Amino acid sequence: MTAPHHPTPTPTALAAHRALNHGTATAFPELGVKELFEQQAARRPAATALVHPGGRLDYRTLDGLANDLATRMREAGVRPGDTVTVLITRSAELIIALLATVKCGAAYLPADASWPDGRLRALLERTDGRHVLTRASEADRIAVRLPGRHMIPVDLTSLTIRQETPPYRGSPDDIAYINFTSGSTGAPKGVPIRHRSIVRLVHGARYARLDHDTVLLQLAPASFDAATFEIWGALLNGGTCVLYPEHFVRLSRLGKVLAEHRVNVLFLTTALFNTVVDEAPDILAGVTTVLTGGEAHSLTHMAAALRRYGPDRIVSVYGPTECTTFATYHPVRTLPPDETSLPIGRPIQNTRAYVVHDGRLCEPGETGEVLLAGPGLTPGYLGASETSARHFTELDLDGEPRRLYRTGDRAFLSERGHLVFQGRLDDQVKVHGYRIELGEISYHLDAHHAVRQSFVTTRPNAQGGQELIAFVVPDTDEREPEAFRAHLRALLPPYMVPADLRLCAQLPLTATGKVDRHALLATLDNRPVAAGAAS
C-alpha cells in the first residue's frame, strides 16, 4: 500500500518526534505465548508460577495441568484458530484455561458471567465461539444461559499433570485473545490481539522490571486488558503471578496479600490508586513499582503519593486496548509547577507515538491527536472493516510508512519531551479503568419505549475519578428512574450502568443547539435519585 500524501513536517516537529521515539525499537522473541511459557517451565520447573486461594503451583505443575486440559479440549473438538469463551472467575482454573487455550492454538475470549445473557450470546455469535470453558460446578447453569454451546468443565482436582504438550506450533501473528470494548453504535467492538503483541508488551519492559524475581498481583477482571499485563508479565518472564483471592477489593485484604506474598509489581486503576492514597497508603510500602492508569490522574493524589513513596516508585501508564494494554509510561519523579496535568509520558518498548493534526506532525506544544504504531496494534476490529478503516490509517510521518491507530485522544508534546493528555475528540470516557462510549449507553436508553430523550455524561466522584450519570426525559411524569436503570442492567455490563439517573422535563440546550452539559450538572443536589454502584 502506498502511503497517502501528507504535509511535510517542519524540522522542529520531526526532531521532537524522533527524540520521543528514540530507542523504542528493541529485539523480542519471534515466538508465541505457548512457546515462551513452556520455555520458562523448562528452565524453572520448581519455581512458583502461580499463587491462588488454594495454594501454589510451580511451573512444572501449571504446565502439566494446562497440557491435560488442552488435550481434553482437543478431544472435545477445539481446533487451531477457534475462539474459546472463558467464563471463569479469578482462580487457578482461569489461568489453566487461558494457557490450555493457547496451547490448542485457539484464541480465548474472556467474559464475565455477570454480563446479561443477551450480551454474552451476541459476543459468542460475533466470534463464532462454539466452546465455553467454565468451572465444573457452574457448567449446567451456564449451559442454560448459552444454549447450543459446548461446555468444557474445568476442575483443578480432576486434572492430572501431563508432560506431553499439544503439538500445535503456530505463528506469532496468530490471534491469542479477543477483548470487546464499548461501541457508540450500541454494539461492542471486538479487538483481536496477536501473540506477538503480548510478547511486545512484556518482553524487555521499559516501564517496570519484569523477570524471574517479579511477583505480580493479578487483580483486574480477565475481560479487562490490564489482566494481559498482570498474567503474562509474570508467566512469560519466569516470575510469580499472585491471584487476588476475592471478587471485590477491600483495602485491608489487599494490604495483607501484598505483604504476605511480597508483591513487587502492581497495577491499580486511577480510581483505586486514589482511594489507596487517601485511605490506606501504607499498604503499598513494600511494592517496588506501582503502575496506575485508566483515567486522568489527580495531581493532588499524585503529589501525596510522591511525598510518601518518593520518586520512581509510581509509574503512570496509558494505552488503548487496540495497542495491547500499555502504549506509553511516565515514571513520577517530580511534579513541575507549570504542568496542570500529569504527562502520559513516552512510548514503551516497540511502540511509536505521534501527535498529528490534519495529517502532519505537530510542533512541540501544539495539541493534536495521538497516533500509535508498532507490533502492539490489533489487526483490526472483528468483522467491522468500515470501523477499522476509520480508526487505522497508513502515513509516512518520519520517513517511513507506518500503520497507525487513531486513538481519538488529544495531547501535546511538551518541551520536556513527553506527551501530555488533553482530553478526547469524541464522547468516549474512562470510568474505573473501563473504556466506555457514552453513545452506547444513550443508544440503549433511547431504545426504551418510554424515553423521549436522553443524555449520558460523567461527573467527578469522591475518589478523584469519574462516574456515569444519565438524564432522561420520559414520556410521562409517572415514570420511575429505577425502571430505566433496570432496562440498562438487562443489556449492559454493570460497569456501564450509570451510578445515578435523573428524570427531567427537558434537556437544556446551548446557543449552538447542543445539550448543555454544564446546566444539567448544575441541577444536581446531594440527594441521589435511583443511584447505585456500577461495580
Angle at 349 between CA 228 and CA 266, to 5 degrees: 40
Each residue's pLDDT tens digit, 290-303: 999 987 888 888 99
Name the amino acid, one letter, at 147: P
What was the pLDDT predicted at 362?
94
Each residue's pLDDT tens digit, 253-296: 999 999 999 999 999 988 889 889 989 999 999 999 999 998 78
Question: What are the cell numbers at 313?
Answer: 516508585
Mean pLDDT in residue range 56-67: 98
Question: Which residues, in sequence order, are bridge partners of residue 279?
Answer: none
Look up cell 483495602; give the residue: 251
Contact 430, 294 (CB under 8 A): yes
Return d(Cα 501, Cα 249) in angstroms, integer.
25
Helix/strand/coil for 412: strand
- As a whole-number percent, the residues of the chain with pLDDT over 90 amount to 69
What was the pLDDT predicted at 526?
42
Supply the pTM of this predicted model. 0.84
Return d(Cα 163, Cα 169) in angstroms, integer.
16
Look up cell 501431563; give the residue: 162
Each residue's pLDDT tens digit, 190-246: 999 999 999 999 999 999 999 999 999 999 999 999 999 999 999 999 999 999 999
Contact 347, 363 (CB under 8 A): no
Q: Measured on CA atoms in the order 224, 229, 235, 240, is the torsion positive or negative?
A: negative
Each residue's pLDDT tens digit, 127-172: 999 999 999 999 999 999 999 999 999 999 999 999 999 888 889 9
Q: Report CA-CA distances (Å) from 80 to 101, 157, 175, 525.
A: 9, 27, 10, 55
Return d(Cα 128, Cα 109) in angstroms, integer.
11
Residue ranges of domains in the chain, CATH in brackets: 9-25+240-426 (3.40.50.12780), 428-522 (3.30.300.30)
Window from 336-345, 351-360, 475-484 with minimum mean pLDDT = 336-345
CB atoms within 10 A of CB 178: 22
Q: Report CA-CA distances (Å) from 520 to 480, 493, 508.
A: 19, 25, 7
Which of the four pLDDT bands, split at 50, 70 and 90, describes residue 340?
confident
What was the pLDDT predicted at 435?
77
Each residue's pLDDT tens digit, 362-393: 999 999 999 999 999 999 999 999 999 999 99
Name the amino acid, one letter, at 402: R
Contact 349, 206 (CB under 8 A): yes
